Amino acid sequence: MPATKVSAQIAGREFSIETGHLAKQADGSVVIRFGETVVLGTAVHSDPRPGLDFFPLTVDYREKTNAAGKFPGGFRKREGPPNQKEILTMRNTDRPIRPLFPKGYIDEVQLQNWVLSYDGQNDPDVLAGNASSAALSISQIPFQGPIATVRVGRVDGNFVLFPTEAQRQFTDLDLVLSGHDEGLNMIEVGSQVIAEDVLAQAIEFGYEGIKQILALINELTAKVGKEKVGGPAEIEADIVATVEKLREPLKAAKTAPGTKLDRQKAVKESIKSFFESEFPEPGDDATYAQHKAYESRRKQAKVAVHDLEEEVTREVIRSGSRTDGRGFDDLRDLECIPGYLPRVHGSGVFTRGETQALVTVTLGTNKDEQIVDGLADEYSEKFYLHYNFPPFSVGEAKRITGPGRREIGHGKLAEKAIIGVLPSVQDFPYTVRVVSDILESNGSSSMASACGATIALMDAGVPISAPVAGISVGLISGENGQDDIYLVDIQGEEDHFGDMDFKVTGTREGVTAVQVDLKVRGLTMDQVRKSFEHAKAARIKIIDKIEEAIPTHRAEISPHAPRMLIININPEKIGKLIGPGGKMIRSLEETTGAKIEIEEDGTVFVSAVGAGKAEKAIEEIEKLCAEVKVGQVYTGKVVSVKDFGAFVELIPGQDGLCHISELSDGYVDKVSDVVKMGDEIRVKVIQVDDSGRVKLSRRQAMEDEGGEEKADAEASLAGKE
């Protein structure tokens, strides 16, 4: 293949896609350049593995640190497992691409994206989705794309396509959007509270950018694209006819009374009985060829049964009632319990039908911040949410492992939902960790996590600006976009067999996060707007229920949480507070029982568990780092007596000279006639010179504060005479 390049000006920068230079043995490979950020995307396929009955699409994305001229962090100077951002990017690449393969296609497909160069301004994550789409489009793999992916921000009220890193510091919206010529097929949003109509406008703005990239991919495909090869095998007609016998038993099982597990059991039993009667296993005397034929027919029958189950589920819904008996807009029963656990800093249980989240909050100090290292400069996060999905939550016994891509993705979505309502660091300086443990699951556990996090945060005394709730809206598409059915609060089978999982979180006033996954090819803007309407109505019902259980955040944080106070000192005093070799700060921590953390700008965070400890530390810091001010009157201690005056300690480590002429308004023969070592006297600061030397006046302090001290001094002098 000859080297080929297409390019266009997008968002004021050149966006180019080239192929034929790198990774030429892959089925498809492209290099995307945007600014000086460069991403390599490859697509490879191989024959399906024996016995496979699902589409094994694998997406990998790696940000190689050498692309930004950095060494990997840690002791081992080599990239390790993917970090959170890489995993989230893999998910955002996978989600819009996966639905665009032929139904029943089970060839092994692997997409890899490497960041080769990063310029510090143009984030490579959205470029990866475009690279995978372009690599698939020019290959023989039967991908029914292309798709394109863009990021949209909003700076000073104006939408920005592909905002730079500098612009993202000031945006109140982070929208990642994917789509194709016929509509949208992925939406991912994290934002401050933003109205639905404004968000819809941002999506429309982003779709115009999608069209520009689609034009480039189509241009490249027209020049070098290969003919598509392969696809799913056809199911034999007699197998389809035989499977039709299962329709009525499946419908009865789907609508059986009871719980999700009861219905699942009924469905499994009806399918098992069907296979035993219609597809019996060959006997021991069967030939190898007969066994192979049986395996092929049974495999086809499994696909046909799955298709029939989907058809029956949608048929039941279209008849006017869902499989659990609810109406299309009905929420399942809600339960909100704040303060469920006694020793944690905050907790809440949120139950919606057969989905239940136990959420806890832990309050910590700056030392508990999450350090994030990657291509960009290292930074720390003061709020993070972790999501856990144990197998018992769906009644299964499976291998127990660490968090996978699903757990990380769901946790990040719930985290985005809450960030927009958190207080500022100045108002609430704690590091906050939220953990959502899913105890039961039958749809939208990420939305339950957002609701449970709101309850737990308010129980912990975190002053969030407004309660947040989340809900998922499903879709059963009608013919030609007509007669669409929107399902509020979808359960697991409606997610699996339906066309859409449209998750929205927010407050009464607006949206904080969105995540949309599709089984169908795409959504129109009319469908997006209707989904927002259904989600908002349900969200407000849930917020009403949350506020019944806990109307606002607790007035006090848990006695088991650290008390944290902030004081600002002159940065020049930092060395004094730390002391030689850290001696002073260690001494303060030992004597007060508090932890002291100092920022470069002079902000000091003081934390302690137990009443009065943090306050005592603040008092000592104020004494140690107080600034001597001209005109201020202090009570000081005489620490040295000289012929020309007395040195008086005003604050720890800071003294000044009170000249003999400033000790009294009368004649003073000897300094010792007025003051002695150890005396406490009132003095006024009359000057601080450029070298920091302080001049004091006892005489002026007496004049400012009245004649009492003056009379006492004169009486003392007279007695001595």
pLDDT tens digits along 347-367: 999 999 999 999 999 999 888
Give the lowest-confidence range in 307-311, 582-586, 622-626: 622-626
CATH 2.40.50.140 fits 633-720, yes or no: yes
pLDDT, position 613: 86
Q: What is the band of 719 on the pLDDT scale with cuts at 50, 70, 90?
A: very low
Mean of the pLDDT values across residues 640-646?
94
Calculate ∠ Cα 658-659-665, nearest 5°.
Answer: 95
**Considering the domain 4-224, what is its CATH architecture?**
2-Layer Sandwich (3.30)
More confident residue, 568 or 335: 335
% of residues, the chain, pLDDT over 90: 65
pLDDT, position 720: 44
% of residues, the chain, pLDDT over 70: 97
Q: Which structure tokens are listed for 438? A: 């899913």
Mean of the pLDDT values across residues 304-321?
90
For the sheet containing 563-568, what is the strand order?
Answer: 563-568, 603-608, 595-598
Query: Is it true that 4-224 and 334-549 share their CATH fold?
Result: yes
- The CATH fold assigned to 334-549 is Ribosomal Protein S5; domain 2 (3.30.230)
pLDDT, position 534: 97
What spatial distance separates the first Cα and last Cα of the chain, rounded to whole Å?
Answer: 112
pLDDT, position 692: 80
3-class secondary structure, 110: strand
pLDDT, position 644: 94
Give the lowest-confidence range in 117-126, 380-389, 586-595, 603-612: 603-612
Q: Which structure tokens are listed for 539? A: 């969200």
pLDDT, position 219: 97
Q: What is the band of 712 on the pLDDT scale with cuts at 50, 70, 90?
A: low
The whole-angstrom separation of Cα 111 and Cα 131 is 9
Tell which residue, 144, 151, 82, has the closest CA to residue 114: 82
Name the DSSP class of 484: -
- 440-489 pLDDT tens trace: 999 899 999 999 999 999 999 999 999 999 999 999 988 766 789 999 99
Q: What is the band of 54 on the pLDDT scale with cuts at 50, 70, 90?
A: confident
Give the strand pairing for 603-608 and 633-642.
unpaired
Are 352 and 489 contacting, i.e. CB atoms less than 8 angstroms apart? yes
The whole-angstrom separation of Cα 380 and Cα 371 is 4
More confident residue, 500 or 402: 500
Name the DSSP class of 239: H
pLDDT, position 1: 65
pLDDT, position 721: 43
Tell which residue, 310, 325, 260, has the closest CA to residue 497: 310
Q: What is the band of 542 on the pLDDT scale with cuts at 50, 70, 90?
A: very high
- Domain residue limits, the chain: 4-224, 237-318, 334-549, 563-625, 633-720
The whole-angstrom separation of Cα 73 and Cα 65 is 9
In CATH, what class is 563-625?
Answer: alpha beta
pLDDT, position 491: 92
User: What are the two backbone dihedrals, phi and then psi, of residue 584, each rounded to the nearest 5 degrees?
Assistant: -65, -45
- 106-156 pLDDT tens trace: 899 999 999 999 999 999 999 999 999 999 999 999 999 899 999 999 999
Q: What is the band of 17 on the pLDDT scale with cuts at 50, 70, 90?
A: very high
Q: Assess whether pLDDT exceeds 50 at residue 605.
A: yes
Residue 232 half-sphere exposure toward CB, CA atoms < 13 A: 17
> Length of the chain, please?
721
- Tokens 């908002």 label which residue? 536
Q: Assess whether pLDDT exceeds 80 at residue 653.
A: no
Are 510 and 189 contacting, i.e. CB atoms less than 8 angstroms apart? no
Mean of the pLDDT values across residues 53-81?
88
- 365-410 pLDDT tens trace: 888 888 888 888 888 899 999 999 999 998 999 988 888 999 999 9
Average pLDDT, the chain: 91
Name the DSSP class of 599: -
Q: Assess whether pLDDT exceeds 50 at residue 520.
A: yes
Q: Assess whether pLDDT exceeds 80 at residue 314.
A: yes
Q: Assess whether pLDDT exceeds 80 at residue 715.
A: no
More confident residue, 147 or 692: 147
Q: Assess whether pLDDT exceeds 60 at residue 226.
A: yes
- 146-205 pLDDT tens trace: 999 999 999 999 999 999 999 999 999 999 999 999 999 999 999 999 999 999 999 999
Residue 627's CB is within 10 A of a number of other CB atoms, namely 12
Q: Which structure tokens are listed for 106? A: 């089970």
